[in-house]
Structure 1
Amino acid sequence: MRPLLLLLLMCVFGFNGADSEAGEKQPLKIGDHRELFVDDYLIGKMKNVRLSLHHPVDEGIVLKFDKPWEGLFCGYCTIIKDGDLYRAYYRGRPEAGADGDTGEVYCYAESKDGIHWTKPEFSLYEKQGFKKNNIILADAAPMTHNLSPFLDTRPGVPKAERYKALGGTMKSGLVAFTSPDGIHWKQHPAGTVISKKMVPFPYMFDSQNVAFWSPVEKKYISYFRVFKDRIRRIARTESDDFIHWSEPVLMEYTHRGEKSPIEHLYTNQTHPYFRAPHIYLAVAARFMPGRQVLTDEQAKEIGVHPRYFKDTSDAILMTTRGGNMYDRTFLSGFITGGIGAQNWVSRTNYPALNVVQTGPAEMSVYVNQDYAQPTAHLRRYSLRLDGFASVRADYAGGELVTKPLIFDGSELSINFSTSAAGGIKVEIQDEQGKPIPGFTLADAREQIGNEVDRIVTWKGGSDVSALSGKPVRLKFVMKDADLYSLQFVK
């Protein structure tokens, strides 16, 4: 009877055995990684504080899709920061047509600051009677429907394959491309590397299908669109060489430890965050089919194509740290439709792939807007570095205590902001929650201001190296303040 009783207790209380129970108590090994408060990963206890989603600031139009070979149906944008150069890639399509037909091309623009963009003139393909244009790939249907380039950061990657891309529809599968410079592209001899035969879903690939080299997992990872139960979902696969890919797995969603609502996600735009590459950000396009906002009269007034105002969409924020689970900590919209009818049509407000740094304390995300309209364009939105979300304390004040963690470093840096009346104090505790002498609240110096990299100090200074490698907890006592991220530095 004892084994049966134990089994019943394990089922009732959710235990999976001694290893799991012990695993729950194992300190997090964060090393010197930057940790963002975009999920519950670090959070042990919160009292009168909350996780708060922040919304990017509209900085205006950066690219108008106004060339004859671009037009109303430009989309599936990618932004890549390559050293001091910013590159933009996007589909050009002036007229409506079937996905993957010959009317689609891929276009290119570049910038030195991510803010002011130009369209170089190449002579690679003649289109619409123009021998000079910004087209970098044409006559390659159906891959020009949704080509998604990335800068391959794998150590030792051949110079001729410094850039890679996937593109294609269900008809072709996902086809591999390579480029030495991000401009001159050729199909990889392997051709289709992710075929429909590999994917256990009835429909797939018909949006932007992304890939990247993960420096943490040390593998190529791809996230691509599938349908399950008639809902647009995301699948993940991985590869050691970009050519041979594992059996895809369906991504699931969690929200504060519970199952998340399943919504149509048109594009996923999953990529490693450049300041914390172990955290993959997904600034995804949420699609609301049949949720019509505009009347026929409003649609006619803004000149939207008659097939493209019966739905609406916006952008949401998700994260994943690997595996087949997205964390939807925030269910509400991240970038929502702006004022004006033009922002409430089908397939608008679709984010470009990648968030990039555009200033000492600024990063940018780009959004495809006014879809299927003569005013179609790419727009820039800005955030402070790490500023997707924060632990927020109001004027009354509150506290955050982390889970036990093990760090590697000699100083603690925080990205934070306060009001003139607010502040943050940091206490370091042992694994059981007992304040460590020299690092107690009484020893802590209050941090006041607004900085992306402030070294925390106590009466004895900032050196925490004596605690490096040992399990500790961090206690933040906050008032009218936001804590965006933390990192132990050497």
Structure 2
Amino acid sequence: MGGQTAIEVGNRKQLFIDRRFIEREHGITLRVNPPVKAETIALRPEKPWEVMRTGDYTTVIEDGGVYRMWYDAFVGLDRYQEVPRALAYAESTDGIEWKRVNVNLFDWRGHRENNIVMPGGDGCVMRDPNGKPDERYKAVVAIFANSLWPESQGAHWDLSGGAVYLCTSPDGIRWKRVDQPASPMFHDSQNNLLWDDRIGRYVAYLRTHERGRTVGRIELDDPTQTPWPFRKPPADVKPNEHGLYLCATHGEYDIALATDEMDPPDTDVQTCPIVKYPWAQDVYLGLCALYRHYSETQPGVFRNDGPNDIHLVVSRDGATWTRPQRKAYIGLGPLGGWDAGCAWPILGMIRRGDEILQYYSGTSHTHGDYTPETVGQGGVRAVRQRLDGFVSADADYHGGALVTPLLRFDGSKLVLNVDAGATGFLKVEILDEADRPIEGFSLKDAVEIDRNQIAAEAAWSSGKNVGQLAGRPVRLRFSGRGFRLFAFQFEQS
């Protein structure tokens, strides 16, 4: 332990999404905490421009007190060939119930009153904190060229190949396309772009195909400067007749997410929208749809069919990812239900007080099972998560303890997000660089914390204040029984 450099936590919140703050432990398990599905199923397919399904590649943000959603309205390739899908718009006052907003921009087969903002568009939206007024919103989209939306002319996307484009907007409603593709590759999935304030750059996550379906990552200084640079040129892939490449399969992008030998055979990453969690330090979260392909030998199915559900992936830098537990974060519903076949993750989250709302869309059918009986049975649903509650360091009824690495903090009080229930408890001891209890902050001085608290303040019977330790390297020792510890933060009183 000698010579260890202290982690500078300052007064920023720290989450137990991984073992970064666990130097040693006994009786502690990191557990993923699945959210609770809301009762309401919103935006069921009920309009002519979304008869196949709603959801898929969808974004939710809070924007100046307004909850906004851009969702994939899917008609189906065999229903209206010119515009098989569109990006549509909805708003909500509570994040649970969503209403379509008529924007009256395009005439959809005689329907002018509709919520379509991007005919032929298919992708995810971000609100750029650095964007110019006319480029405040950005979207990474695949575009089916069509006669309704002039900006789509010259774009190309179909099953023979395609490209993804950057579109910009002043308001999230009226969109323009950057002429040159962002990437001339066939990124068939939920591609997303974010501003990473930790590194001061934009980061794009794109579908790649190096080991089945994977997620590639690229850093950008200015996403409007297209095409985006490859890590290595796609020299081994021949372009199609449109000059576009089929798939990113040969190292064109750094691979951020892929399945591994611990996953079932014939399973890959279908989609994974990624956010940088704004209410803690260095926390990146991804909702990763794992797609298990049915075997070709199964009667009545083909290779691109099978179910997918949603797993949580976490990162400290947005580049290296781990799965805290190999279990579904948002699972499938009961067989026969609206979300029994596939659960599709939605980009974004909303904070309401001490609750986080995340989202998914569902279908009753599996990935490739497009039958008349399964058309129009999907929808969008919120899931409720405790603030910071994605992963916790848990001690069972027999007890456990963990010790952090050396930390250096600012502040005069220590606040914990913890659930100990009625029969559990948690105590905090503070240790010096030599791993010795600091007088007045020892385990015997620690006051028990019980029940379920988002912001429980640690206290000691000595009456001492942690402010006297600010700036000094210390370790925290959390011990007790029957607790779930989600986060800690030093704050000013």
Same fold at TM > 0.5: yes
Give the SS at the match of 2:42. strand
Paired position in structure 2 for 1:430: 432
Paired position in structure 2 for 1:368: 361
Alignment counterpart, residue 353 of structure 1, candidates 330, 347, 354: 347
Matched, 1:178 2:160: no
Listed one character per residue, the Cα deviations across residues 246-305 of structure 1 (whole Å, up to 9, x for unaligned) are 5444335699xx98659411111111113126211001111111169x997xxxxxxxxx
Alignment counterpart, residue 489 of structure 1, candidates 476, 484, 491: 491
Asked whether the 8 Å contact 1:309–1:344 carries over to 2, the reply is no
Cα pair distance change 1:97/1:307, threshold 3 Å: farther
Once the two structures are superposed, the pairs formed by residues 248-259 of structure 1 within 5 Å of their partners are 248=231, 249-252=253-256
Task: Output the CA distance in 2 between the equivalents of 1:448 and 1:329.
Answer: 25
Alignment counterpart, residue 35 of structure 1, candidates 4, 14, 37: 14
Asked whether the 8 Å contact 1:220–1:239 carries over to 2, the reply is yes
* 2:74 counterpart letter in structure 1: R
Paired position in structure 1 for 2:204: 222
Alignment counterpart, residue 285 of structure 2, candidates 259, 274, 281: 281
Matched, 1:384 2:373: no
Q: Displacement of 1:365 after TM fit? A: 1.4
Task: Output the CA distance in 2 between the equivalents of 1:212 and 1:315.
Answer: 21
Alignment counterpart, residue 78 of structure 1, candidates 59, 64, 69: 59
TM-align CA RMSD: 2.9
Paired position in structure 2 for 1:147: 123
Alignment counterpart, residue 412 of structure 2, candidates 407, 410, 425: 410
Structure 1 length normalisation: TM-score? Answer: 0.83
Matched, 1:162 2:144: no
Asked whether the 8 Å contact 1:260–1:328 carries over to 2, the reply is no
Give the SS at the match of 1:108. strand
Task: Output the CA distance in 2 between the equivalents of 1:408 and 1:100.
Answer: 60
Q: Displacement of 1:98 after TM fit? A: 11
Matched, 1:88 2:64: no
Task: Output the CA distance in 1 between the equivalents of 2:480 and 2:335.
Answer: 39
Give the SS at the match of 1:420. coil
Asked whether the 8 Å contact 2:53–2:376 carries over to 1, the reply is no
Give the SS at the match of 2:222. coil
Cα pair distance change 1:214/1:98, threshold 3 Å: farther
Alignment counterpart, residue 97 of structure 2, candidates 109, 116, 122: 116
Asked whether the 8 Å contact 1:412–1:462 carries over to 2, the reply is no
Asked whether the 8 Å contact 2:408–2:471 carries over to 1, the reply is yes
Asked whether the 8 Å contact 2:73–2:87 carries over to 1, the reply is yes
Asked whether the 8 Å contact 1:456–1:462 carries over to 2, the reply is no
Paired position in structure 2 for 1:58: 37
Paired position in structure 2 for 1:195: 184
Cα pair distance change 1:223/1:260, threshold 3 Å: farther
* 2:126 counterpart letter in structure 1: F
Task: Output the CA distance in 1 between the equivalents of 2:437 and 2:45.
Answer: 58
Task: Output the CA distance in 2 between the equivalents of 1:309 and 1:345.
Answer: 17
Task: Output the CA distance in 1 between the equivalents of 2:432 and 2:30.
Answer: 24
Q: Which has the higher helix share?
A: 1
Cα pair distance change 1:429/1:395, threshold 3 Å: same
Give the SS at the match of 1:421. coil
Cα pair distance change 1:120/1:393, threshold 3 Å: same
Task: Output the CA distance in 2 between the equivalents of 1:174 and 1:216.
Answer: 26
Asked whether the 8 Å contact 2:217–2:256 carries over to 1, the reply is no
Give the SS at the match of 2:453. strand
- The unaligned stretches of length 5 or more in structure 1 are 1-20, 197-203, 297-305
* 1:28 counterpart letter in structure 2: I
Pick which of 214-223 and 262-271 moved more: 262-271
Asked whether the 8 Å contact 1:308–1:345 carries over to 2, the reply is no
Task: Output the CA distance in 1 between the equivalents of 2:68 and 2:215.
Answer: 26
Pick which of 120-129 and 172-181 moved more: 172-181
Matched, 1:336 2:317: no
Matched, 1:327 2:307: no
Cα pair distance change 1:310/1:448, threshold 3 Å: same
Q: How many residues align?
A: 439
Alignment counterpart, residue 211 of structure 1, candidates 169, 188, 193: 193
- Name the % identity: 30
Matched, 1:69 2:86: no
Paired position in structure 1 for 2:398: 396
Listed one character per residue, the Cα deviations across residues 168-197 of structure 1 (whole Å, up to 9, x for unaligned) are 258443211111111121113x5322333x
Q: Displacement of 1:72 after TM fit? A: 2.0
Task: Output the CA distance in 2 between the equivalents of 1:101 and 1:265.
Answer: 29
Alignment counterpart, residue 266 of structure 1, candidates 257, 266, 270: 270
Task: Output the CA distance in 1 between the equivalents of 2:353 and 2:136.
Answer: 27
Cα pair distance change 1:253/1:238, threshold 3 Å: closer
Task: Output the CA distance in 2 between the equivalents of 1:473 and 1:91.
Answer: 48
Task: Output the CA distance in 2 between the equivalents of 1:466 and 1:95.
Answer: 64
Cα pair distance change 1:288/1:261, threshold 3 Å: closer
- The unaligned stretches of length 5 or more in structure 2 are 143-156, 232-252, 365-373
Structure 2 length normalisation: TM-score? Answer: 0.82
Cα pair distance change 1:331/1:406, threshold 3 Å: same
Task: Output the CA distance in 2 between the equivalents of 1:318 and 1:365.
Answer: 14
Cα pair distance change 1:291/1:349, threshold 3 Å: farther
Task: Output the CA distance in 1 between the equivalents of 2:305 and 2:336.
Answer: 13
Q: Which has the higher strand share?
A: 1
Cα pair distance change 1:437/1:260, threshold 3 Å: farther
Asked whether the 8 Å contact 1:73–1:96 carries over to 2, the reply is no
Asked whether the 8 Å contact 1:216–1:277 carries over to 2, the reply is no
